[in-house]
Amino acid sequence: MYALVRPYEDWGDCMSKRGIALYLHVHQPWRVRDYTVFDTAENHDYFGPFSESHRNNKEIFEKVANKSYRPMTKLLKELLDTHPDFKVSLSITGTLLEQAEQWGPDVIDSFKALVDTGRCEIVAETYYHSLAFFYSRSEFEHQVEKHRQKIRDTFGVETSVFRNTELSYDNNLARWADEFGFKGILSEGWDPILGWRSPNYVYKPVGTKNIKLLMKNYRLSDDVAFRFSNRAWEEFPLTADKYDNWVNAALGDDGEVINLFMDFETFGENIWEDTGIFNFFRDFVGRWLANPANTFYTASEACETFEPADEIDTPYTTTWADTERDLSAWLGNGMQHEAMRHLYDLEGDILRTKDEALISDWRRLTTSDHAYYMCTKYFTDGDVHAYFSPYESPYDAFLYFINALRDVRFRLYEHHRHGDL
């Protein structure tokens, strides 16, 4: 256990500035087109190009690039140039990088320009934004390595802090990340886990040696990510002034770091520019840094700067999703379980083919969004899911996914037939 009152010699830490660790997640999946049973075994192109506009990956990428990636990277660069203390952490999935390479190389250049300032950290995760940790440790590690390599190749930097898909997290994951050598890991600052404690400190996951835990302050994060444009919210409209007061109040006299974690697409895509979200963010950063006692930290800096305030025990999996903060939006019904089980059952056979195209298609199907689109929790969390699903119904999403998976099986069968296995 860690003493809550620190020994005298550690007081130097207390001189560290109060900070914000801003972390933004950048991701697009390879959506499965309306892939029917008549395509199965005939046509192996699951991800387009195709005409249905809601599932047209290229059109969606271009829309989000224009509404969010381009204007937000521009704003972040401006803030980095203006404020020497401004810092940001990003996790960018492999699937998003693949799409950007094909359809918007300038978007990658914009991210590179941020990384090149030395004050934008890239956070590690699975290349395919998958739930592999819960199904196959070997596939999970492969996807983490593949992502690290992709980040190395694209940005020339190493990753040292890990986040798992949808901020899913538990003790096992923390132990794995510790042994893997990460210095930090991110999770939801969920009250049942924190108990009386505040998310505004750095923690240590139970049963680990070196790794530190940064927990999302979901109230302040969601004020921006979910409530900013909500006219029915009693705090609407949220001004930079008001938000600055809230962050200051949340930190109090001895708080260390506010972890603001959200989707990058919050800026411009989920919340449109005409709501004033970009100006709000610019103003807030200026206001926050106007106080010389304040600063920003990258994720790894926050881990290095502060000593753990306590140990955190997370015996079950938490995520940053929904009111339950669990995986039920991904693995909550029979369709989702069946789809994932059939998918991961193929792992060994798929990898043995050494067929790059087949392996890549199979891995693209591990992206968690596919399972999310099959979510049937309509009646409580329904609005959020309805907004983020490109399919007419969760049943359609399941159908096209299973049809594609059957085609993957067919291709496996072809390998067997030709004696490749």
Partner 1 sequence: MLGWELPPHNSGGLGVACYHLSKALAQQGASIDFVLPYDAHHPGTEYMTIHAATSLNPIHKFGIMGAYDSKSVAEQDLDKVDMRDLQTMRGVQKRYVTFVERMIKSKKIDVPDAIHAHDWLTMEAGMRAKQLTDAPLIVHVHATEFDRAGSFGSGNPIVHEIEYQGLMMADRIIAVSGITKNIIIHRYGIPADKIEVVHNAIDPSSMGTYDYDGRTYRYLESLRREGYTVVSTVTRFTAQKGLTQLVKGMARACERYDKLVLLLAGDGEQRDELIALTAELGISDKVFFTGFVRGKQWRDAYSVADVFVMSSVSEPFGLTALEAAHYGSALIISKQSGVGEVLKSIMRYDFWDTDKLADQLVGIATSPALSHQLRDDVKREYARLSWHDVARKCMHLYDRMKIGATA
328 binds partner 1 (CB under 8 A): no
Nearer residue to partner 1 within complex by CB, 132 or 404:
404
- Minimal distance, residue 206 CB to partner 1, in Å: 36
Which residue of 123, 174, 321, 335 would you call a contact of partner 1, by CB under 8 A? 335
Nearer residue to partner 1 within complex by CB, 289 or 339:
339
Give CA–CA dist 408/337, Å, rounded: 18
Task: State both tokens at 369.
Answer: 């969004």
Which listed range, 20-28, 37-45, 248-256, 261-269, lies at the site for partner 1 (CB under 8 A)? Answer: 37-45
Query: Using an 8 Å Cβ cutoff, are 129 and 153 in contact?
Result: no
Which listed range, 29-37, 118-126, 138-146, 163-171, lies at the site for partner 1 (CB under 8 A)? Answer: 29-37
Nearer residue to partner 1 within complex by CB, 40 or 305:
40
- Minimal distance, residue 370 CB to partner 1, in Å: 14
36 binds partner 1 (CB under 8 A): yes
Give CA–CA dist 319/189, Å, rounded: 9
- Minimal distance, residue 38 CB to partner 1, in Å: 6
Which residue of 26, 399, 408, 412 would you call a contact of partner 1, by CB under 8 A? 399
For 111-158, the DSSP string reads HHHHHHTT-EEEPB--TT-B-GGGT-HHHHHHHHHHHHHHHHHHH---
Nearer residue to partner 1 within complex by CB, 119 or 411:
411
Which residue of 122, 339, 365, 408 would you call a contact of partner 1, by CB under 8 A? 339
The secondary structure element, H or E, covering residue 26 is strand 18-26
Peptide bond into 49 cis (omega under 30): yes
Bridge partners for 19 per DSSP = 257, 295
Bridge partners for 318 per DSSP = 169
Would you call 139 a catalytic residue per the annotation?
no
Give CA–CA dist 202/184, Å, rounded: 10
Q: What angle do CA 379, 382, 385 make, to 5 degrees?
A: 155
Nearer residue to partner 1 within complex by CB, 199 or 394:
394
Which residue of 13, 52, 338, 420 would you call a contact of partner 1, by CB under 8 A? 338
Q: At how many degrees (to 10) do helices 57-64 and 94-103 cross?
A: 90
- Minimal distance, residue 372 CB to partner 1, in Å: 15
Question: How far from the centroid of its chain's Cα atoms is residue 396's Cα?
Answer: 25
Which listed range, 33-41, 68-76, 94-102, 207-215, lies at the site for partner 1 (CB under 8 A)? Answer: 33-41
Nearer residue to partner 1 within complex by CB, 233 or 395:
395
Active-site residue, from 166, 188, 301, 347: 166
Give CA–CA dist 408/410, Å, rounded: 5
Nearer residue to partner 1 within complex by CB, 229 or 376:
376
Site string for partner 1, 363-392 (x = CB under 8 A): -------------x-x-------------x
Which residue of 250, 393, 409, 415 would you call a contact of partner 1, by CB under 8 A? 393
Number of residues that bind partner 1 (CB under 8 A): 22
Give CA–CA dist 38/258, Å, rounded: 52
User: Which string of b and e fits 283-314 if b means at least 16 CB within 10 Å?
Assistant: bbbebbbeeeebbbbbbbbbbebbebbbebeb
Minimal CA–CA distance to 257: which of 197, 311, 303?
Answer: 303
266 binds partner 1 (CB under 8 A): no
403 binds partner 1 (CB under 8 A): yes
Site for partner 1 in 193-252 (CB under 8 A): none
User: What are φ and ψ of residue 319, in 5° steps?
Assistant: -140, 180
Query: Using an 8 Å Cβ cutoff, are 288 and 20 in contact?
Result: yes
43 binds partner 1 (CB under 8 A): no
Active site residue ranges:
166
Give the footprint of partner 1 on this chain (CB under 8 A): 34, 36-38, 40, 333-335, 337-339, 376, 378, 392-396, 398-399, 402-403
